[in-house]
Amino acid sequence: MDKLPSELKQLGGKRPIIVTDQGVARAGLLDIVKKAFNGNGNGNGNGSEPTIGAIFDQVPPDSPVSAVHAIVAEYKKNNCDSLLAIGGGSAIDTAKGVKIKLAEESIDLMNFKAVLRMTKPTRPLVVVPTTAGTGSEVTSAAVISDPDKGIKLSLISPSMPPNTAVIDPRMTATLPPRLTASTGMDALTHAIEACLGIQKNPISDSVAKQAIELIANNLVEAVQNGSNLKARLAMANAATLAGIAFSNSMVTMVHALGHSLGAISHVPHGDAMTICLPDTLEFNKDTVGDFLADLLLPMAGMEVYSQTAPAERADRFIECVRQLRQKLHDISGLPITLKQAGVDPAQLQAVADLSPSDGAAFYNRKKFTPAEALQVLQKM
């Protein structure tokens, strides 16, 4: 964390705007960041070292486009020249949206139809994740929402990734058990889906399998004992590895359903991943069964893998996911059904109708209809 100012300085940043949320602020994590700047906050620097130019700590969940526009205004008002995102996926994705808007203000973030290729240089962006889940610190995507229109879009651009990410387990140590569980399941979903889609490849497989093993061995401990920095670091590394993996091979139907649940029913993303993962894997097993079978090894270890008949390994893997999910529910209250997440059954048809058009659905090997999506949702 102490390297933050020097990292910004190397990128040409002298007056960053901090993009974060109230949870991070209340947890005292901004104090760690301010200490790294040696008190050079709010314009009191000596002119030679980076100083905090402004702090925007009102980022809400789901990265609304309104927050992007508000931060752009604060950035200009305070003569900032760089971005420092501290938080989970919402804060980081919001900062990515700001990065794009600052470079080309004419861009309508809610009208992304394909990969955006920027023609103008972007401002430096450094991120400090405070959750071990989204992997947004290494991805070329950002999920931005417009709650008024019920839209939640995954935006992709080669200009989107942060310039630098600082992975510090101290920044995740205050994350409550339920959020630790939810974000950890998000990371697990990233790693699993990276091994299933049409862009699956040996490089993403190797990174994703390492992430799965780290999560299987450390997530429960991180939830039960949040002060265990060894487990926290393992989970932080797993989230980053999973982010690298799915950036390379993309996510699939689990995310298509999860994005739609977030847009229609406002289910937090990690909770949606937790709920959707096993039943969606079951639906796709006829096309990705061999891949799921391979994942039993990093998920359960050599003894379980070797003692399970090859034809049963895919089912055993899915059962391991269900067992982990149940354990997390028992110790933290993590929802594992749509009912527990407060989803109105009357909304399921709208979720099902929206999900096949989500960008993640394109990478699913098995194409699915709204009717099939509804059947899977009803099992949840």
Please give the tally of structural domains in the chain: 2
Domain boundary among 133, 153, 170: 170
Structure tokens that stand for 282 in this block: 């079951």
Range of the domain at 375: 175-379
Please answer whether residues 90 and 80 qualify as being in contact, where contact means their C-beta atoms are separated by less than 8 angstroms. Answer: no
Q: Is the same domain home to 266 and 366?
A: yes
pLDDT score, position 43: 43
pLDDT score, position 39: 56
Positions in the chain short of pLDDT 50: 41-45
Please answer whether residues 34 and 51 qualify as being in contact, where contact means their C-beta atoms are separated by less than 8 angstroms. Answer: no
pLDDT score, position 112: 75
Length reported for the chain: 380
Q: Is the same domain home to 142 and 163?
A: yes
Q: Is the same domain home to 122 and 194?
A: no
Q: Is the same domain home to 156 and 271?
A: no
Q: Tell me whether strands 82-87 and 16-19 are parallel, antiparallel or unpaired.
A: parallel
Q: To 5 degrees, how large is the angle CA 283–CA 286–CA 287? A: 100
pLDDT in tens, 12-66: 999 999 999 999 999 999 999 999 997 554 444 456 789 999 999 999 988 889 9
Q: Is the same domain home to 48 and 194?
A: no
pLDDT in tens, 300-334: 999 999 999 999 999 999 999 999 999 999 999 99
CATH code: domain of residue 83: 3.40.50.1970
pLDDT score, position 379: 98
Q: Is the same domain home to 104 and 189?
A: no
Domain boundary among 170, 201, 235: 170
Domain boundary among 155, 170, 185: 170
SS (H, E, C) the chain: CCCHHHHHHHCCCCCEEEECCHHHHHCCHHHHHHHHCCCCECCCCCCCCCCECEEECCCCCCCEHHHHHHHHHHHHHCCCCEEEEEECHHHHHHHHHHHHHHHCCCCCHHHCCCCCCCCCCCCCEEEEECCCCCCHHHCCEEEEEECCCCEEEEEECCCCCCCEECCCHHHCCCCCHHHHHHHHHHHHHHHHHHCCCCCCCHHHHHHHHHHHHHHHHHHHHHHHCCCCHHHHHHHHHHHHHHHHHHHHHCCCHHHHHHHHHHHHHCCCHHHHHHHHHHHHHHHHHHHHHHHHHHHHHHHHCHHHHHHCCHHHHHHHHHHHHHHHHHHHHHHHCCCCCCCCCCCCHHHHHHHHHHHHHCHHHHHCCCCCCHHHHHHHHHHC
Give dist(CA 147, CA 25) in Å, integer: 24
DSSP bridge partners of 134: none
Q: Is the same domain home to 9 and 154?
A: yes
Q: Is the same domain home to 299 and 202?
A: yes
DSSP bridge partners of 84: 18, 126
CATH code: domain of residue 217: 1.20.1090.10
Give dist(CA 224, CA 68) in Å, integer: 35
What are 199-202's contacts with CB under 8 Å, separation 24+?
Answer: 199/248, 199/249, 199/250, 199/363, 200/249, 200/291, 201/248, 201/249
Q: Is the same domain home to 227 and 94?
A: no
Q: Is the same domain home to 31 and 152?
A: yes
Q: Is the same domain home to 232 and 375?
A: yes
Q: Is the same domain home to 46 and 90?
A: yes
